[in-house]
Structure 1
Amino acid sequence: MSVEYIITALVGAAAGAGGGYVLHNYISSKRVEGAKDLADRILEEARKDAQAERKEYMLQAQDEILVLKKEVQDEYKDRDKDVKKREAKVQEKEERLETKTDKLNQKDSELVALEKRLSRHERSLTEKEEQLDQMTAEQNHKLEEISGLTAEEAKQRLLTEVESQTRHESAKMIRQIEMEAKETADRKAKEVLASAVQRYSGDFVAENTVAAVTLPSEDMKGRIIGREGRNIRALEAATGVDLIIDDTPETVVLSAFSPLRRQIAKMALERLISDGRIHPARIEDVVKKVEQEMDVKLREIGEQATFDAGVHGIHPDIIRLLGQLQYRTSFSQNVLQHSLEVSSLCGIMAAELGLDQKKAKRAGLLHDIGKAVDHEIEGPHALIGADLAKKYGEGKDMIHAIAAHHEDQPPTTILAVLVQAADSLSGARPGARKELLENYVKRLEELEGIATGFEGVAKAYAIQAGREIRVMVDSERVDDDQTHILCKDISQKIEENMTYPGQIRVTCIRERRAVGYAK
């Protein structure tokens, strides 16, 4: 190719490129103008649509405003009516208040007038009281001059006379009321108690704290003691008793506070003596066998006691405890025999009163069951017995009767009172219990001292082994009615200050003697 051809081609290409650019610019300007016209038309249409919608919204808003305005006007009218009604009511109340105010003002004026009249009356009364006080003072002064006593002295004398007269009248009333009450209660109680005591004739068994075992020969003492005392030590250790071997011929004394242990030791020693083989191992075997036999014997004794009392259905453990009471004493009175007595007395009194005789006998038989174990358990034997009765399924009445027979609990049932009374009867009957002479004399002296400590008592004598005290009163200082009060006071003080079985009868005697001499 030549250079000219190339140049011509290049010029042609440049011219084509320029024409294409011009053509492109023309077409682009035409498109822009068309887009502007279209956009103007769209905007114009949008403006028209917006104005139409605006008018439409304006019209709707005006309609809603009119509706709301009407509603507000209606509500205002209703409220206006309510306000007018309330105003009318308020006005009516104001009128009534004004009427009441007028009435109150009228009453106030009346009260003021009444207060003025009362003030005048008070002043008048005050003046009259002053005049009366003055006249009373003058009269008192004249009376003091006439009687020779001051007002205080006269008042004291009057009070003394009134007190004396009142005590005299109260003593009469007390005496009359008590006599009326006792006409029926005392008669019936005495009949029941007397019948129970007369119908019961029980034995009395006295136990000591020692038991004697007779030996076949004097040589047996050495065999009982054993080499270096080993036999006697083994026997004391196994039985819990003290063996006393002294110069008493052919006798060994067993000493123990527990009659049960003493009995076991006595039986064991008698068997060892009859057997002849006495050494520590043999002693232990014999004591064990005797204890087993004693356990069987206790059950037999308990069963016999329940049979004698006519009581059935008792727990076997309680029967064994009843057997142990055979070897327990209280104030030298055998506890099992005492329990049988109480059972019998309870049954007799229950029959007289129309109560359950079997239940009464059962309560009387079991009332001292706690004494079988009171050396092992701390506490009053009545409460211990109640716990045992509860443990072995006795009823609530039975448990309470056992617990209350010594006032450890206040008696609240007739059965408890029956057991309490029967227990006192059994312990208080002649010969039932023994006490040391020293304590006996001390109790009598204390009894007489309580009685002579009262004003108006001349002498006091304890009789009937301390079951009764007779009080001689000074007839010049104590009248008949005061004697009755004095008797009650002495009885109450004896109850508060002394401990004694049964009851003590207090008899106050007042007599007037006239002595003359014929010459």
Structure 2
Amino acid sequence: MTVWEWLWPTLTAAGFALLGFWGHALYVKMRDRAEHRAAGDLLREARRDADMVRKEAELSARDEWIRGREQIEAEMKARQQVLTAAAERLARQDERIEREEQRVAEQAHELDRRRGELDTLRAELEGQRDELSRQLAEARERLEGLAHLSAEEAREELLKRLDAELEIEHAARLRKAQEEARVTAEQKAREILTGAIQRYAADQVADVTTTAVHLPDESMKGRIIGREGRNIRALELATGVTVIIDDSPELVVLSSFDPIRREIARVVIERLMHDGRINPVLIEEMTDKVTQDVDALILQAGEEAVEALRLAPVPLEILQLLGRLKYRTSFSQNVLRHSIEAAHLAGMMASEIGLDPVIAKRAALFHDLGKAVDHEVEGRHAEIGADLLNKAGESEVVVAAVREHHDTPQPESAYAALVAAADAITAARPGARAETTGLYLKRLEDLEAIAKAEPGVVRSLAMQAGRELRVFVEPTEVDDATAIQLARRISKNIEESLDFPGQIKVTVIRETRCVEYAR
């Protein structure tokens, strides 16, 4: 074999090998270039997606910021309105206080004037007494000279006459002293009560058996009703209230005699509207959660009442019962606010008459505690409350005051009478309680009937919404002394027969009219 015979195939193979290597390298280079191009496309697409996500996030954050700012502005506006209303109330209270101070100054001036008149009258009486002594001496001399009586006989005759005159004068002075004592006692009591009421002023809001819930728009009524009424049935079943949806624009009315149930239903509806989802399952879950929240609010209301009066710690079960009074009404008067107001007044009056204001506040705050459970436990609310306080370890003085504050039995402690007075003040002032027309007219008829049952009474009139009773008597059958006894007897009968707030003034009028015609 020659050299070219084996060299040629070798070179040919080497050439093909080089050609194959170059082709493979070219293929690898083209493949890498295609992969880099694809990677670049992916990177650009990823960057576009990232830019879109970033822009969406910025838009979402901006919308959230705008909503938060609007919410904060609304809250600030509401707080500004509350502060404005509070400032107006304080201004009105300052005006009332200034008027009361002016009235007290005028009363003080009137008392000074009357004191001067009494001093003048006293001087006149002393002069009359001296003149009477002189006249008696002269009468004694004349009797001895004219009647030819002995000194002893003249003395006996004179003493008889003096006894008769002194009896008349004694009766007149006794009647005057009784009248002055009554006026003085009434004036002192009025000053104490006026001072206590001046130093404490509380707003009262009349609660009713319905609660109105405002809706954002009319379409919310259909969502509350639900398909085929499923949502409204679930709401009524879960909360125990009646949901009234009528033609009132953007308004839903909740009706129930239990104010706690109404409050739970109101909060549930507001939270459902805020959440946006309304369905039977969510209604049940929301009701359970709101019930727990309301229980916490009840406890908080009891704690706030105790803290507002600065009293010593109260057991947990008493705080819960006290907080329930926030949702309890009596004659449309909120019982918790009524109890707090009575506690303030009792404490102020206790300080004026020398009693312990802390005990008076505590007894007045708890005096209606039985109303929190009187629909669950039989008996009078005063007895129920006293038993609950006794079980909780409250002091005997407070328990007795709560038990006796309605004068059944008669109060044995000054604190019970003080609580009864504070209770009557808060209940009797105008606007504190609501009274139906039927009950009002019945009370007036009973007042007039009690007076007409007495002998010698011609006519009786109930005046000033039942705060005063005027009794007209026959002058030939009733004299002045009997008229005084008649007024006392009618007052006693009213106290024993009727339940009334505050006091009733009984005035007996005895007059004689003589009529003649000129023809």
**Which category describes the TM-score, using the shorter chain as reference length?**
0.5 to 0.7
- Aligned twin of 1:364: 364
Query: Which moved further from structure 2: 463-472 or 213-222?
Result: 213-222
Distance 1:497 1:518 in 2: 49
- Aligned twin of 1:240: 240
Distance 1:395 1:453 in 2: 45
Written as runs of structure 1 = structure 2, the 5 A alignment for 1:80-119 is: none
- Aligned twin of 2:225: 225
Distance 2:192 2:212 in 1: 43
- Work out whether residues 459 and 472 of structure 1, in 8 Å CA contact, stay in contact via their aligned partners in 2: yes
Cα distance, 1:187 vs structure 2: 4.8
Report the number of matched residues.
Answer: 352
Cα distance, 1:196 vs structure 2: 2.3
Change in 2 beyond 3 A, CA 1:213/1:459: same
- Aligned twin of 2:432: 432
- Aligned twin of 1:292: 292
* Residue ranges of structure 1 left out of the alignment (5+ in a row): 1-167
- Aligned twin of 2:335: 335
Change in 2 beyond 3 A, CA 1:512/1:199: farther
Cα distance, 1:333 vs structure 2: 1.0
Which secondary structure state, in structure 2, belongs to the residue aligned with residue 509 of structure 1?
Answer: strand
Distance 2:464 2:310 in 1: 35
Change in 2 beyond 3 A, CA 1:450/1:312: same
Letter in 2 for 1:481: A
> Looking at both structures, which has the greater relative contact order when contacts are Cα pairs under 8 Å and sequence separation is at least 6?
1
Which secondary structure state, in structure 2, belongs to the residue aligned with residue 362 of structure 1?
Answer: helix
- Aligned twin of 1:81: none
- Aligned twin of 1:156: none
- Aligned twin of 1:459: 459
- Is residue 400 of structure 2 the alignment partner of residue 400 of structure 1? yes
- Work out whether residues 382 and 408 of structure 1, in 8 Å CA contact, stay in contact via their aligned partners in 2: no
Written as runs of structure 1 = structure 2, the 5 A alignment for 1:349-498 is: 349-498=349-498
1:296-355 residue CA offsets vs partner (Å, 9 max, x unmatched)? 222222222112212121112222222221111111111111101110111111101111
Distance 2:322 2:237 in 1: 26
Cα distance, 1:230 vs structure 2: 2.4
Change in 2 beyond 3 A, CA 1:421/1:490: same
* Residue ranges of structure 2 left out of the alignment (5+ in a row): 1-167
- Is residue 282 of structure 2 the alignment partner of residue 282 of structure 1? yes
Which secondary structure state, in structure 1, belongs to the residue aligned with residue 212 of structure 2?
Answer: strand
CA RMSD of aligned residues (A): 2.7
Letter in 1 for 2:483: T
TM-score calculated relative to the size of structure 2: 0.63
Change in 2 beyond 3 A, CA 1:293/1:517: same
Which secondary structure state, in structure 2, belongs to the residue aligned with residue 252 of structure 1?
Answer: strand
Change in 2 beyond 3 A, CA 1:513/1:195: farther
Distance 2:317 2:461 in 1: 49
TM-score calculated relative to the size of structure 1: 0.63
Written as runs of structure 1 = structure 2, the 5 A alignment for 1:160-309 is: 179=179, 182=182, 185-309=185-309
1:464-501 residue CA offsets vs partner (Å, 9 max, x unmatched)? 21111111222232111111121122222222332222
1:84-142 residue CA offsets vs partner (Å, 9 max, x unmatched)? xxxxxxxxxxxxxxxxxxxxxxxxxxxxxxxxxxxxxxxxxxxxxxxxxxxxxxxxxxx
Letter in 1 for 2:211: A
Letter in 2 for 1:228: E
Distance 1:380 1:196 in 2: 29
Distance 1:406 1:317 in 2: 24
- Work out whether residues 175 and 484 of structure 1, in 8 Å CA contact, stay in contact via their aligned partners in 2: no
- Aligned twin of 2:511: 511
Letter in 1 for 2:285: D
Identity, in percent, stands at 54
Which secondary structure state, in structure 1, belongs to the residue aligned with residue 432 of structure 2?
Answer: coil
Cα distance, 1:237 vs structure 2: 1.7
Letter in 2 for 1:348: M
Distance 1:244 1:508 in 2: 54
